[in-house]
Amino acid sequence: MAAKKGAKKGGAKKSAKKSSAKKGAAKKGGAKKAAKSGAKKSAKKAAKRTPNAAFMKAMTPSAQLGTVVGTAPLPRTEVTKKLWAYIKRKGLQDAKNRRQINADENLKPIFGGKASVSMFEMTKLVNKHLK
C-alpha cells in the first residue's frame, strides 16, 4: 500500500511539470500576439481622423445658455469646452464627488432647476438648449 502512495506522488509531480511547461508556452505565444496587435494599433493611429460633420455643425445656443457660452453659433464641441471653462473658473465642481456639477444662478435654468447634476447628465441637458 505504501508503494502505491509513492507511485501516485511521483506521477503527480511529473504531470505538474508538464502543465507548467504548457503554461510557459502559452505565455510566450501571448507575448507574440500582443506585439503583433501593437503594430496594428500604431498603423491605425498614423491615419488622420476626419472630424464628424454633425459635431462641427454650428448651433445657436438658447438665451439661457447664451449667458454662459455666448450667443454666437458654435459647434457642440466648442459649447462643451466653454461650459467646462465656466465651471472650472467659478469652481462649480463638487469637492468630494468631482463628477457632480453644482449649479449657480446662470446654470440652474439650463439644468432644469436642479441644484446639482452629473457631468454625463449635463451634456444631455445642454443639448436641449442648442438649435
Backbone angles phi, psi at 102, to 5 degrees: -90, 130
104: Cα within 13 Å, side-chain hemisphere: 13
Tally of structural domains, the chain = 1
Q: Is residue 131 part of a domain?
A: yes
**Poorest-pLDDT segment among 25-29, 71-75, 117-121:** 25-29
Q: Is residue 42 part of a domain?
A: no
Q: Is residue 15 part of a domain?
A: no
Q: Is residue 118 part of a domain?
A: yes
Cα separation, 55 vs 75, whole angstroms: 6
In this prediction, residue 38 carries a pLDDT of 57
Cα separation, 127 vs 61, whole angstroms: 9
Q: Is residue 63 part of a domain?
A: no
Q: Is residue 123 part of a domain?
A: yes
Mean pLDDT highest for which of 23-27, 53-57, 112-116? 112-116
72: Cα within 13 Å, side-chain hemisphere: 3
In this prediction, residue 130 carries a pLDDT of 94
* Residue 115's CATH number: 1.10.245.10
pTM of this prediction exceeds 0.75: no
Cα separation, 113 vs 107, whole angstroms: 8
Mean pLDDT across the chain, nearest whole number?
80
Domain extent, residue 128, equals 75-131
Q: Is residue 27 part of a domain?
A: no
Closest CA to 101 of 112, 109, 62, 88: 88
